[in-house]
Amino acid sequence: MDVHKIQKIAHLMRRRILDVSHSCNQSVHLGSGLSIVDIMATLYGAILNYDIKNTAWADRDRFILSKGHGVLGYYSALLVSGIISEVIFASFQANGSDLVAHPVMNIDLGIESSNGSLGQGLSMGIGLALAAKLRNKKHKVYVLLGDGECNEGSVWEAVMSASHYKLDNLIAIVDNNLYQSDGKRENIMDCGDFAEKWKSFGWNVCSVDGHNVSDLYHAFCEYNIENKPKVLIAHTIKGKGVSFMENNNEWHHNRLTKLNYEQALQELGN
């Protein structure tokens, strides 16, 4: 893997997230989108098996964004990978656009699932992974969840099911940025030691720096255990890349003014 290339992809994704967030002239989920950029850049730049000319290819890997409010990190990955065009990306939040505040399934655009309510993506991923096993298919299923989303009981039912069915073709990623919409996770519903919890349900657990693309790449590729689903607990910073957004929950959902847009661009640099 070319680490520098993936880092450049992540930088471009952050830039394009800021551009489209400003141009749409609406409040958007910035903090959650920025925290997953390095994960998404690694997935779409080095891990996922897909064909930009045939987004419905039967043997493609599947990616499910369970934390749908991180959608700007998703759309920007589809853009830089060549799956969607600049014109489509720029239509974000426009009237009649296919790219709205949460993903809506559209295989032509590489969007594998719809999302609104939290806590549903892992269950869908399990269904896809189990179907692949039954059909002797070799593709993998990746599901990205939020740490706050793991307050949902449906997540833990799914975690238990994946282990029961020995889905070693399923990889979950938890965006562990320690915040959710109403504040710090520990003050709302403290989940304690995520790694130990997932391990106790029979998962193969890797803890990783969610902003280190080299570490992410190796965590995705290595440490696999037969008959065990794998989860990456990715330690991230909400709003990563823009100082006034980092660990500032005001930017969970907010509007970029011209002034703070320009400040953010200056911080990112070229």
pLDDT at 184: 83
Q: What is the arithmetic mean of pLDDT over 85-112?
A: 96
Report angle CA 167, 171, 176 to the nearest 5 degrees. Answer: 135
Going by C-beta distance under 8 Å and a sequence separation of 6 or more, which residues neighbour residue 193?
A: none
Neighbours of 131 (CB within 10 A): 11
pLDDT tens-digit map of 123-142: 999 999 999 999 999 999 99
Q: Report if pTM > 0.95.
A: yes
Give me the torsion for CA of 22, 26, 29, 34, rounded to 10°. 0
pLDDT surpassing 70 at residue 270: no
Q: Return the closest-CA partner of residue 145 out of 133, 162, 132, 166.
A: 162
pLDDT surpassing 80 at residue 152: yes
- Classify the C-alpha dihedral 110-80-178-166 as positive or negative: positive
**Residue carrying the six token digits 């549903």:** 120
Q: What is the arithmetic mean of pLDDT over 7-35?
A: 96
pLDDT tens-digit map of 226-255: 999 999 999 999 999 999 999 999 999 999
Q: pLDDT category, 194, cuts 50, 70, 90?
A: confident
Q: How far apart are CA 111 and CA 222, in angstroms?
A: 26
The two tokens of residue 7 are 């880092």
pLDDT tens-digit map of 31-41: 999 999 999 99
Is 174 in contact with 233 (CB distance < 8 Å)? yes
pLDDT surpassing 70 at residue 118: yes
pLDDT at 8: 96
Q: How far apart are CA 154 and CA 118, in angstroms?
A: 9
Q: pLDDT category, 182, cuts 50, 70, 90?
A: confident
Going by C-beta distance under 8 Å and a sequence separation of 6 or more, which residues neighbour residue 187?
A: none
pLDDT at 117: 85
The domain locations on the chain are 3-268
Q: How far apart are CA 138 and CA 61, in angstroms?
A: 9
The CATH architecture assigned to 3-268 reads 3-Layer(aba) Sandwich (3.40)
